[in-house]
Structure 1
């Protein structure tokens, strides 16, 4: 009986991991789609439409959940929604000044930030692995933003790093509030809060778009249905059972997917420095999240074989 339960848990864990990997793939494509859409519409209005449409779709689909929304859920959704608002504002504006490839990897550094935020909230020391990962990540970012033979970080790179921080904050916040909240209710409230923030700021800071092109409509269809409604719903449900650091390591694959798609679709090129920087960032993620446990297992297996040979 216990073996059946363990097998069921493994299958459930695998399905959750695969669902988050699907979210990573969707968000990786989102970088490319956003880059194209921003040619015809302002970033704030694009995000206002994105989150408002997503909120309406979620509210209609799960209308019965609206009856159980409490003040606590609204408060939690508002906090998470604020982090989402800040993250996606930074992402959208950052894409206007940097490439998809660079932003994808810079945003991917959120996986290194998550353990430190978790440390602050839960008082859990991230350990030397996380510190080592952070240092390697910083070096990787430096190489990634290298232009010619001078280190130069433009405003798009800075905004992309800001996006990484707020995404990490949203992951930790989701995990914190999910302990006593329904994941679907939380998804609805956080999307609603983000939509409200974007609506207010877009009318204040940007001119109202006069013409929504076919390209923008196509981009919004992908962004709303797949990258927002589907992705946030899956993430919230998965994080009910998966800790934020594990969620972060899976979702960081969006950087890889985004870079591959940017090369295939947008024909973006990567320099040798950028490739080395990307590899260092991926190495930092590997060290931070796996704590090199696979090496420990390999050494243990080697030791066991040596004992058996001596016997």
Structure 2
């Protein structure tokens, strides 16, 4: 059973690590680092760590095509994070989280538009249900669209294209090479933006340094490598839906570690997202089986 679902389980673990990343970001920001500094440092740590640990494998498997592919998903990764980071300055954290999550719905349409792939009705239904769950989890009553929301929607497209093309490229190229290249590209682009925003000087407390180290090692190096490897065995649409569990894990860990108040709305939102995962994974086969059994029983009578 583990082998059959290893891709899904790996993406679930990725979502858990990303969910814990909300804690790391909170600690890093409270200790003096700016959002752009956090991005540059976390991607730099990821590129260096993987480059050192997997130097021989990278050397033996790197090709011109894999560098181009890795650079492409690196650009999408940068677009996603930088627009999310700037966007949150102009909107609420809850709306930022919700609008980022619409990448779940965008992913299947990328395949349909670019490659004429048929849309899986269960994938679309699951995606919409996941968005509904994240909305329940994140949104307040007011849902007006402002400049920050617009930037966050661009971020959602960035994540959607990143998830989609990661799934495409990992079938053809070494996942470690892809991950190192995308981190390197994201680091350079983040540093350029950091310079443009005049945020080169770093003044951070030890807690902030520990927070960004966690983000660099776990939320970036481990999580994105895990995502890249596991997406080889899981469709892009299903990957996006499973990765939406990030918001569930982020909520649970915020309650446990940051002592945020657990509300009925949080519980309902989490349950709705879990139901989306179940529908995506099973395609309601258990209901179909029950209907067939009833039909057989009635025909026998």
1:78 counterpart (71, 80, 97): 71
1:193 counterpart (175, 182, 185): 185
Count of aligned pairs: 299
Cα pair distance change 1:62/1:246, threshold 3 Å: same
Measured against aligned partners, the alpha-carbon deviations of 1:198-251 in whole angstroms (never above 9, x if no partner) come to 111111123223322112111112101111111111111112222222222222
State the SS of the aligned residue for 1:181. coil
1:173 deviates by: 0.6
Unaligned segments of structure 1, at least 5 residues: 1-9
Cα pair distance change 1:58/1:134, threshold 3 Å: closer
2:117 maps to: 124
1:3 maps to: none
For 2:270 and 2:151, the matched residues in 1 are separated by 18
For 1:45 and 1:161, the matched residues in 2 are separated by 22
Equivalent residues of 1:28, 1:104 under 8 A apart = no
State the SS of the aligned residue for 1:297. helix
Report which stretch shifted further, 285-294 or 207-216. Answer: 285-294
Equivalent residues of 1:20, 1:250 under 8 A apart = yes
User: Is 2:164 the partner of 1:172?
Assistant: yes
Equivalent residues of 1:44, 1:206 under 8 A apart = no
For 2:132 and 2:6, the matched residues in 1 are separated by 34
2:144 maps to: 152
1:236 maps to: 228
Equivalent residues of 2:98, 2:131 under 8 A apart = no
The equivalences for 1:278-293 within 5 A come to: 290-293=282-285
TM-score, length basis structure 1: 0.81
Measured against aligned partners, the alpha-carbon deviations of 1:149-194 in whole angstroms (never above 9, x if no partner) come to x433455544444333222211111122122211111111111111
State the SS of the aligned residue for 2:117. coil
For 1:183 and 1:225, the matched residues in 2 are separated by 17
The equivalences for 1:1-311 within 5 A come to: 10-39=1-30, 40-67=32-59, 68-96=61-89, 103-130=96-123, 132=125, 147-148=140-141, 150-268=142-260, 290-306=282-298, 310=301
**Root-mean-square deviation (Å):** 3.2
For 2:151 and 2:254, the matched residues in 1 are separated by 19
Unaligned segments of structure 2, at least 5 residues: none
Equivalent residues of 1:105, 1:256 under 8 A apart = no
TM-score, length basis structure 2: 0.84
Measured against aligned partners, the alpha-carbon deviations of 1:87-125 in whole angstroms (never above 9, x if no partner) come to 112333344456655544443332222111121233112
Equivalent residues of 1:87, 1:163 under 8 A apart = yes
Equivalent residues of 1:105, 1:278 under 8 A apart = no
Report which stretch shifted further, 189-198 or 277-286. Answer: 277-286
State the SS of the aligned residue for 1:151. coil
Cα pair distance change 1:274/1:162, threshold 3 Å: farther
Cα pair distance change 1:138/1:257, threshold 3 Å: closer
Equivalent residues of 1:119, 1:125 under 8 A apart = yes
Cα pair distance change 1:304/1:179, threshold 3 Å: same
1:27 deviates by: 0.3
